[in-house]
Structure formats: structure tokens, C-alpha cells
Chains A and B, each alone.
Chain A
Amino acid sequence: MSLIFTVLVIGSAFLSFAQEPSFRTRLHQLDTEYSEEDIQVEIEFGRNLAARILGTYQLYDNQKVQEYINLLGTGIAAQIGRPELTYYFAILDTKEVNAYACPGGYIFLTKGALKLMTDEAQLVGVIAHEIWHVNFRHVVKPLRIRAKGDSLTSGIAAIVGSSTATARVLLNQLTEKAYKLLFEEGISQQSELDTDSAAIETLLTLNYNWKSYREYVESIEKNTSSNYRQVLSKTHPNSADRLESLDNLALSLQINDLKGKTNAKRFQSYLQSL
């Protein structure tokens, strides 16, 4: 009797042990492997990259639109962002249709992208897409922005925040690499598709209309000039691939008939002065 009991206990322990890793890998592994110092380095680095972007583009000065973006952005970040970060949202005064996410939570949307949108669900989807870039550390990982480590560019804690001229030069050199990644080379195509999927899942979780985001992706192809599309195509997959990926996701989640809020009137009232 005691032998049977022992076998049962060993069996259940083994089964639970075998299941454990699958649970862990299915959760978003957001911060377990990063120390507080790593995150401080990420914030400082991201802030420097954001300053670099604002050296190229002017801030769009419109208090009402700015307030709207920040209310939505802060709300979305509170729901799906990394809890240890403070997220900032700003609009770049350019006709280009794009959005950018810097490490540490600095997020930019272009005036051109806002003009192309038709409802709040689209805006929520685009902001969520950018927040997921920060969550997935799509700049931090390829450039190995860590406080300490074995790689050559990891150990940058001493540079970031240091006031010495050498350290400043080194930080700016590393920032140029990140700038090139965002504006010329792009993050991997798969990373963009992953953030598209995460944006859709966010819209569903927040009870927004996921199809609005799909329409926005479609409208980029239809409503932007070939010049802007060329810029975008360097950093993002083409619209057809993005739409196919979104449709596959909709099929697997069985959400084709699902409707959600668009809040188009509120969107128009805030953005009429754009």
C-alpha cells in the first residue's frame, strides 16, 4: 500500500515538474532576468535616443492633442506596459506616417500618422504596438544594452549618466546605432509582426474594435505617397504581410465577428484642431 502511495506521489511530482517550464515560457518574460541597474541603463539610453529623435523632428505644439495622446497612452501603459517604467508620449511635427518607441518608455507618434487615423481604436492599437516594442526590448536586446555582462557593449552603466567627455562620445555613438536601427535598418520583420499581434490582443483585452487597427494598416498602403511608403518599407514588413498575419491571428482567436468600441466621436473632437 505504502509502495503504491510512494509511486503516486513520485508520479505527481514528476508531472508537475514537467508542466512547469511550459507555463513559464508561455508567460511574457518581462523583467525576471533584468536587474534594477539594467533598467536604469535602459531608461538613460532611451532618453538619449529620444533626444536624438527630437534633434531631427520638432515637437508638435498642440495642448489638446497632446493631452489626449497622454491620457490614452498612460492608460494603455498602466494596463499592458512594464510596471517599473514611466512612459512618455509626444507627437512629432512631420507629415511622415510612422511611430517610434525608444527603450525606457519614450514613445513618439507622427502628426502624419494621426491625420491618417479615423477613430480611437486605431490610435489605441498604434500606441499599444509601440508599448510592446518597449516590453519586448526590441532595441535593448540587439544592441545588448545592459549594465554589466560579457558582451562588448554591455557594461555601459559607467558611460550612461557619466559626465566625462569620453563617456558622452561613447554613449552618442551607441545611440547612433539605435537611431539607425529605428530609422534605416528597422527591427526584424518578425518583431514587427509580433508587436502587431500583441496590439490586437491589447485591443481585445481593452474591449476596442480590433478591426480598426487592421483598417489602419491597410490605409497606410492606400493613402500614403510612394516616398513615405519607401521609408516605411525599410523598417516594417509590407502591408500585405502584416494584414495576412493579422488575419491568421483573427482566425486562430476566432474573433472575426467580434465588435468593440471605436470612440470615433471622442477621437474627432480631440483631433479636429490637428
Chain B
Amino acid sequence: MYKFRHILQPLLIFLLVLFAITSSSYGAYIRSSKVELKESPEFSSATISRVNKGDEAIILEADGFWTKVRVNNSTGWISKMSLVEKKRFLKITRRPLHKNKGITKKRIRTRVARAAVGVKGLRQSQVEKIRENYNIKAIEIVETFKVAEAKAVSFLMDYHE
């Protein structure tokens, strides 16, 4: 019995300490550029430092609009909208999904059939009319309206009248 306690108790303590450490500090990432880290949860509060997109943040406390975080060895308050839970900063682009690896023609047919039941509501005669209402060329023009992100952020953030 003594031997059992001697081994089990430290093991239990070790596991609980590990659990406590991993669950109490909750990680997230800074979503935006030039985010002001505030001294207290108020807009009028002094700015301690600025943190940047992709920086790792440890969440210490949440208070409505504000979240207390530790970022790059500084601790302060930022808006919760400046945080994301998952580091997904790579852009996802369009691609024909039926060409995705692992989707067979049989599975495609099954899914189309399932969806056909789901999107019921319009007759075939109406569908032909609807097709005329789509302007794919115009959307291709919209997709050419691009500006560099860094230039746009500077245009938005650095100009004051």
C-alpha cells in the first residue's frame, strides 16, 4: 500500500500540474496589423506597445469587448476582434472542387442527387431565364480591382486630417 501511494501520488500530481498549465493559458493569434496594446480596458487608456499580425497571444482575461493578453513579453488589453483562434493566414484560392483528390465520379453523382433534393423550388423553365441573369464577365472585372495589402493598411491607418 505504501509503495502504491509512493508511486501513484507523485504521478497524479505531475499529471494535474501539466493539465493546469496547459489549460489555464489559452493561445490565440493577432489578426490585425499595428494593434494598440492598452494599459487598461478603456479606449482612453495609454498605449503600451503595438503588436502585429500573426504574433502569438496568451489570453489572460476576457472582459466583454476587451481581452487581456501577453504578446511579445508585454501584457495589456486589446479588442477581442483583433484575435483569431487559429493561425490561418494563408489565402484560400478558388479551384474546381470536383477535381479534388479523393472525390470519385460516383461520389459526385451521389452528392449532386442529394443536393437536388435540397434545392427544390424552381421549375426548369424558370431556370433557363435565371441563367441569363448571371454576369460572370463583370465579376472577372471586379477580381482585377486589387491593391497591395500593406499599401491599403497604411492608407487606412496612417492618415489623419
Contacts and interface: CB of A to CB of B under 8 A. Distances in A.
Interface in B102-158: 103, 107-109, 111-112, 114-122, 124, 127, 130-136, 138-139, 141-143, 145-147, 149, 151-157
Interface in A23-43: 23-24, 26-32, 36-37, 39-41, 43
B83 interface: yes
Contacts of B75: none
Given A32-B85, A157-B111, A253-B65, A266 B159 contact: yes
Contact of B26 (A24, A43, A59): A24
Contacts of A252: 64
A263 B159 contact: yes
Contact of B134 (A10, A73, A172): A172
A47 B16 contact: no
Contact of A83 (B31, B64, B97, B143): B31
Contacts of A227: none
Interface in A17-64: 17, 19-20, 22-24, 26-32, 36-37, 39-41, 43-44, 47-48, 50-52, 54-56, 59
Chain A's interface size range is 35 or more
A158 B83 contact: no
Chain B's interface size range is 35 or more
A266 B119 CA distance: 46
Contacts of B98: 157-158, 161-162
A158 B28 contact: no
Contact of B112 (A47, A67, A72, A167): A167
Contacts of B157: 75, 79, 206
A31 B29 CA distance: 13
10 closest Cβ pairs, A-B complex: A152-B118, A75-B156, A16-B24, A74-B152, A75-B152, A54-B138, A153-B118, A158-B111, A55-B133, A158-B108
